[in-house]
Structure 1
Amino acid sequence: MVQLTLLHWVYVIMVLVILTVMLLRKDTIIPCILGVFLMGFVAKNSIMGATIAVFDGLIVAGRELLGIIVVISCIVAMSKLLEEIGANRLMVAPFTKFIKTPDVAFWFTGLVMLVVSWFFWPSPATALVGAVLLPVALRVGLPAIGVAMAINLFGHGLALSSDYVIQGAPTITATAAGVPVEAVMVQGTPLFFTMGFVTIITAFILLKRDMKKGLIEKPVLEDIEFNEAKEVKPIAKLASIFVPIAFGLDIVAMFLFELRGGDATALIGGTAILVLSSICVIEYKVGALDKITKFVREGFMFGMEIFGPILPIAAFFYMGEVDPVHAILGANALPEGSQGILSDMGVAMASIAPMNRPVVATMEMLVGAITGLDGSGFSGMSLAGSLAKVFGTAVNGSIAVLAALGQIGAIWVGGGTLVPWGLIPAAAICRVLPMDLARRNFIPVVTGLIVTTIVAMFLI
């Protein structure tokens, strides 16, 4: 067993500090920067070296996350164009004829949100699906809070936590855990769908019960903005057909050529940029040379808004692995034979006090959920992945399953299904209070977290 050094203990102490800050519902950027600085000081024995380490940490984290930041920015840029020309509404509108009852409205809205979120990210998808399907759902008797729950649980819950297409969430988690992205996605699939199935079924049953008892007030339809009269440009019809076909071909290509991880992400991102450019040229002609700048700018502003705060957090947690430590602190920072701070700690924990799988599954879920209290979801996934490495090593279990479990806890709590300040998009589009939506989601989401944790105990 590798002898634990001061560097190991500084890392562990700062993880505990960061967890405490998260419990207090405060942002963790300053503790993470301090953690990198202290580790740099210990490794290089100088304030100058520690200061350099802080910047190098951001560069290493940026290098790891750049692909995900870019692909999400490209997709959002494309969605901004589709929104401007009205193609987003045309893409969803044909499905409205299938909605005849409140039950169908709930499930149909949710499933459309799930698919759209996989391809366009939940935040843009919320505005798209809500604007088109909310009036239709209200007309057949589904209360606005029911529409908000469907959009929220399927989108910011199931779609964002699984993230099969864009692969932003599993990339962050897998990188911190030191396992392939596809391992988290494949081995985590039973957990993703257990969580989604249990949570959404529970939410639907409770919603139906309260609707039957007359406990949910239905809004007046005249108060809801209908979108049929909004301008739809001629190019919108072509775009509404071309875009689904383009991304459908991407899915086919992923299966035929066995594209996974970065290659799959690159295919999606490249398609988004080519679609954006093509539609811009067709619609705006020469003006496309300037017009496309607006969409690209908006897309990358969104990407940096989401991932900007994650860089310093990831910079710290990535230092639990060998390569980032060597890149930031130098090749001699760790003792000979070390497999990384996290692996070394896992081996040490297993030798001192052997841990069993129910304990580590429970701890992983709790930590993931705690990290989501900031309302982001993404900021805690590096920690969830890092601890999965520790716990998986300690019990000789599946690190990928544990990483997926922590990812579920972080996303479902902080990604926008439980924390009120993370529920604003779905609540706003449906004109309900975020606190009301949070209360509605609480029992279903907590039930799902408990059941998923129990299932994970048998899969680790």
Structure 2
Amino acid sequence: MAVEITLIHWIYVLFIALIIGFMVMKKDTTLVSITGIVAIGLIATGNISSSISSIFNSFTYAITELLPTILVISIIVAMSKILSSTGVNDTMISPFAKLIRSPGLAYWIIGILMMVMSWFFWPSPAVALIGAVLLPVAPRAGLPALGVAMAMNLFGHGIALSGDYIIQAAPKLTADAAGLPVAQVIEASIPLVITMGAVTTITAFIMLRRDMKKGILTVGSPSSEEPAALSEKEELLTSRQKKWFAILIPIAFLLDVAAMIIFNLQGGDATALVGGTSIMILALLALTAHKSQGFEKSTAFLIEGFQFGFKVFGPVIPIAAFFYLGDSGFEKILGDFLPKESNGIVNDLGVALAHSVPLNKAIAAVTLTGIGAITGLDGSGFSGISLAGSAANLFSHAIGTGLATLTALGQTAAIWVGGGTIIPWALIPAAAICNVDPFELARRNLIPVMIGLAVTTIVAMFLI
């Protein structure tokens, strides 16, 4: 059943276009997002004071939603800093440094490891595990931090999450909405996920190498303060202590992996386990390296991590606040002002699109990709995939075939757009771990992902 599209929906679409336009022009989107929140609040409530209050309420909602990610990133950064200051980091990465000897090897090895880890534990905890160990290796092999972030993003939040073959949360949601067994959706998604993954990662790598050759992307030069830092590392821990910690830390994270498998920990639970382990490592290392000052140093490193986390998330909160209005956040931030049959602004727009296009195989494939992409704009990836399954059911009945393929296509598009490859506030984990600008990372991913979606949609037309 079609949902009434109101002025609120059109204003939301207008500000989406403005935000995307500002991002393409490399302009800051904070004021545009805030203006959009006020405009939607004013139209919805008809009350100036309520629309102004919605700015603060939407920020509060966005921070609440993002807080687990902010915390785990801050903790991982704090742990990484003490690993670096004590010299344990150098000892840990030395075996990998022998294996990863070129930018190409760094990109593909980090990406494939990220994909495998993400299949089992989802990308957020995998980013923390992979980034903490392999990130320092990549620059030494000649791969800039932005290239590392792209690899982790595209392989983890893209390939692994769009297929989700182990945990199967994504195919379960789309299969239920489409009225299909999960196995059929998984089977239909395999050629689409392979196509999307291959086209996107290869395109991204070619563009990355091109910009590295032109000097547009470079590995940061070593700091002039590095010799002093190295001498400090030698004084904090003995060579024997560094080796013990270099062995202990990977074992601790491997035990985390074992616990995730044994106790079926996924998503937030897996992230929490990684975060708690990181805090314990930080505390133990601080007490060993700084002796009686270990208590103060532990706090100092945590503060430094939190400062980094909120500095990175600062520009993201306003834009995330706006996009949360398009989904579950609308009612909690503004109240019940949408039509009764509404399922959120973003889902309403997807339903309207599904009901407004002529039906044949080619248009069905293009429309499912469009619906998936639109529902992914909230940065979740998962919030709209049920709609993709429902739309696939509708379209397949109209054209008489292709239900599983259309369902898998909508799922793939929604996850790649919203799961964390081209929506800045969704790809924060990889950006923060690699200390790169999330908006720059989104711009870097945009062309490869768009090319991948186009090719995958064409492939789907032949499979329907």
Instruction: Give the TM-score taking structure 2 as reference length.
Output: 0.67
Trace 1:358-369 onto structure 2 (pairs within 5 A). Answer: 358-360=365-367, 363=370
1:360–1:304 distance in 2 versus 1, CA, 3 Å: farther
Contact 1:158-1:193 at 8 Å conserved across structures: no
Give the aligned partner of residue 138 of structure 1. Answer: none
Alpha-carbon deviation of 1:285?
A: 2.2
Give the aligned partner of residue 282 of structure 1. Answer: 288
Give the aligned partner of residue 414 of structure 2. Answer: 403
Contact 2:82-2:282 at 8 Å conserved across structures: yes
Contact 2:200-2:451 at 8 Å conserved across structures: yes
Q: Does 1:248 align with 2:241?
A: no
SS in 2 for 1:320: coil
Contact 2:204-2:448 at 8 Å conserved across structures: yes
* Off by >3 Å, runs of 4+ in structure 1: 95-99, 112-127, 161-164, 179-184, 186-209, 223-232, 354-358, 360-368, 383-400, 423-426, 441-460
> Residues of 2 paired with 1:12 and 1:238: CA distance?
55
Residue deviations 1:40-73, cap 9 Å, x none?
Answer: 1112211111011111000111111100010011
> Residues of 2 paired with 1:27 and 1:268: CA distance?
33
1:198–1:125 distance in 2 versus 1, CA, 3 Å: farther
Trace 1:195-344 onto structure 2 (pairs within 5 A). Answer: 197-198=198-199, 231-232=233-234, 233-234=237-238, 235-321=241-327, 323-330=328-335, 332-344=336-348
Aligned match of 1:129 in 130, 134, 137? 137
Give the aligned partner of residue 32 of structure 1. Answer: 33
Alpha-carbon deviation of 1:251?
A: 1.3
> Residues of 2 paired with 1:245 and 1:313: CA distance?
39
Aligned match of 1:107 in 105, 108, 116? 105
Give the aligned partner of residue 137 of structure 1. Answer: none
> Structure 1 counterpart of 2:262, which letter?
L
Give the aligned partner of residue 431 of structure 1. Answer: none
> Structure 2 counterpart of 1:346, which letter?
G
> Residues of 2 paired with 1:224 and 1:35: CA distance?
42
Residue deviations 1:255-311, cap 9 Å, x none?
Answer: 221111111111111111111112112222220111112211221122112221111
Q: Does 1:91 align with 2:92?
A: yes
1:389–1:442 distance in 2 versus 1, CA, 3 Å: closer
> Residues of 2 paired with 1:109 and 1:266: CA distance?
27
Contact 2:193-2:412 at 8 Å conserved across structures: no
1:152–1:195 distance in 2 versus 1, CA, 3 Å: farther
Give the aligned partner of residue 13 of structure 1. Answer: 14
Task: Structure 1: state its 5+ residue gaps.
Answer: 135-146, 210-214, 218-222, 372-379, 417-422, 427-433
> Structure 1 counterpart of 2:422, which letter?
A
> Structure 1 counterpart of 2:333, which letter?
I
> Structure 2 counterpart of 1:157, which letter?
M
Contact 2:62-2:317 at 8 Å conserved across structures: yes
Give the aligned partner of residue 59 of structure 2. Answer: 58
Identity %: 36
SS in 2 for 1:353: coil
1:337–1:273 distance in 2 versus 1, CA, 3 Å: same
1:280–1:400 distance in 2 versus 1, CA, 3 Å: farther
- Which stretch shows the higher mean deviation, 33-42 or 276-285? 276-285
Trace 1:134-149 onto structure 2 (pairs within 5 A). Answer: 134=141, 147-148=142-143
- Which stretch shows the higher mean deviation, 109-118 or 396-405? 109-118
Alpha-carbon deviation of 1:442?
A: 11
Alpha-carbon deviation of 1:22?
A: 2.5
**CA RMSD between the two structures:** 4.8
Count residues with an aligned counterpart: 392
Aligned match of 2:379 in 357, 379, 382? 382
Trace 1:134-213 onto structure 2 (pairs within 5 A). Answer: 134=141, 147-148=142-143, 153=147, 155-163=148-156, 197-198=198-199
Alpha-carbon deviation of 1:240?
A: 1.0
Alpha-carbon deviation of 1:25?
A: 2.4
> Residues of 2 paired with 1:59 and 1:181: CA distance?
32
Q: Does 1:71 align with 2:101?
A: no
Residue deviations 1:401-430, cap 9 Å, x none?
Answer: 222221565179x979xxxxxx9979xxxx
1:110–1:301 distance in 2 versus 1, CA, 3 Å: farther
Give the aligned partner of residue 374 of structure 1. Answer: none
Give the aligned partner of residue 352 of structure 2. Answer: 348
Task: Structure 2: state its 5+ residue gaps.
Answer: 115-122, 175-184, 216-220, 394-406, 429-433
> Residues of 2 paired with 1:455 and 1:281: CA distance?
57
Alpha-carbon deviation of 1:382?
A: 2.5
> Residues of 1 paired with 2:447 and 2:90: CA distance?
33
Contact 1:365-1:453 at 8 Å conserved across structures: no
1:4–1:119 distance in 2 versus 1, CA, 3 Å: closer
- Which stretch shows the higher mean deviation, 274-283 or 68-77? 274-283
1:455–1:253 distance in 2 versus 1, CA, 3 Å: farther
> Structure 1 counterpart of 2:353, which letter?
M
> Structure 2 counterpart of 1:24, which letter?
M
> Residues of 2 paired with 1:11 and 1:265: CA distance?
32
